[in-house]
Amino acid sequence: MQELQVNLNERSYAIKIASGLLNNAGALLRGISGNDKIMLVSNPTVYTLYGSRTLDSLKSAGFIVHVALMPDGEAYKNMAETIKILDQGLACGLERGSMVAALGGGVVGDLAGFAAAIYQRGIDFVQFPTTLLAQVDSSVGGKAAVNHPRGKNLIGAFHQPRLVVIDTDTLNTLEERDYHSGLGEVFKYGIVNDKAFFVYLEEHGEQIAGRDKECLSHIIYQSCRIKSAVVAADEKEEGGRAVLNLGHTFGHAIEQLTGYGSYRHGEAVAMGTMAAVYLALDEGLLLKDEARRIKELYRKTGIPIVFPQLDPAAVYQAMLKDKKVVNGRLRLILPAGIGAFTIRDDCRREKILKAIVEAQKEEF
C-alpha cells in the first residue's frame, strides 16, 4: 500500500492507495473513529458495484451504517439533494461524533462532504473515491460544494476529510468517458506543476490509454503527491492553490451553459485547458512547440479537447460568474512553459474570446 500525508496541523490526514482497500474499509475507519454511527452516501450505480463489500466491512468492524443514495450525475449536485441527505442524517440519528462516508465519484464526494460540513456545524467525513477524477483530485483538499443554477460549486465550504481511501480496483469498471475525464485532471499537474511528471505522461501515453495498472498506480500517487503539497501550502486557495484551477474557469462555463449534463467535468477541464493554452500562446507565455506537445498528449490518450461550439461571448459572461473572479476581473491560470504557471487578471476580453474561437477549431 502506498500512503501520503496531507499536512494541515490538526486537520492532517492520510491518503491510502492500494488494490482491494474497500474490503478493509471497516478496519481503516475504526482507526480514526470511536463513534459507531456512519452514514454511507453513494449512488445506485456505484453502490450496486461496491456497496456490499464496503457495507460488510464496516459492519464487521462494529459500525452501525445507514445507506443514503443520491441520483447519479452532476445535475443532482444541488441544494435539493443536500437537504435530502441531511434529512436522512437526522432520521438515522447522526450525532456530532458520527461520520459521513462518501462512496463514489466527485459528485458524491462533493455533496457528501458539503452535507458533513454543515450538519450540526460540521461532522467528520471520509472519502472512498471510485473514479479516476475523484482519486486524483476532488477527494483530496477539502473542497466540498454543490452547484447553483448560475454557476458551478458556488455553495460550499472547506471541510477536510479525516481519511482518503483509494481502492484502485474500482477503476476496472470505469466507463471510458469517465476514465478520460479523470485524465483531464491528471494532465494539469504535469502541464503547470511538474515538468518531470509531464515527460512521464508523454512517454507513457499509450500505456495510460490502455489502463496499464503500473502506470495508473504511478499517476494516481504522483497526482495526489502534487495536490497534497499544494493544499498543505495553501489550504483555502488564498494564493498558490489557484494553480489547480488550470482550465477550470473555461470548463465551468462549458458545464453551466450545457446544463451540467453534456460533458463530464474532466472533459470540460481538458477543453478549457486548451483554451488556456491558446491564450498563453497569444500572451507570449508558451512556445508553439510546447503547445503542440500538450495537445499531442491529449490526442495520444484519446481525450476530446475541441471546445464546444458555444457563443464565445456567452462563455465569457459565464466565466465572469466563476468563484475565481476578483473585483470583477477574471483571474486565470495560464501555463508559462511546461511545468510552470502564472496567474493573470489582466487578459483582455478580446484575447479571451479569440482563445475560445481558436480552441473550437480542430488544429492550431
Active site residues: 121, 143, 185, 227, 237, 241, 245, 248, 252, 265
DSSP code per residue over 58-72: HHHTT-EEEEEE--S
Length of the chain: 364
Q: Do residues 126 and 216 make contact, with C-beta atoms less than 8 angstroms apart?
A: no
What does the DSSP 8-state code read for residue 2?
A: E
Q: How many CB atoms lie within 10 A of CB 203?
A: 10
**What separation in angstroms does the CA of 275 have from each of 192, 256, 306, 357?**
14, 17, 9, 8
| Rounded Cα–Cα distance for residues 127 and 339 (Å) | 29
| Rounded Cα–Cα distance for residues 135 and 54 (Å) | 17
C-alpha cell of 247? 482550465
Helices (H), 173-287: 176-192, 195-203, 205-209, 213-233, 248-257, 265-282
Residue type, 362: E
DSSP code per residue over 291-348: HHHHHHHHHHTT---PPPS--HHHHHHHHTTSTT-BTTB--EEEESSTT-EEEES---
Closest by alpha carbon to 33, among 58, 66, 68, 10? 58
H or E element at residue 131: none
H or E element at residue 48: helix 44-60
Strand pairing category for 332-335 and 341-344: antiparallel
Q: How many CB atoms lie within 10 A of CB 162?
A: 19
Q: Do residues 122 and 158 make contact, with C-beta atoms less than 8 angstroms apart?
A: no
**Which residue in this structure is represented by grid cell 492550431?**
364
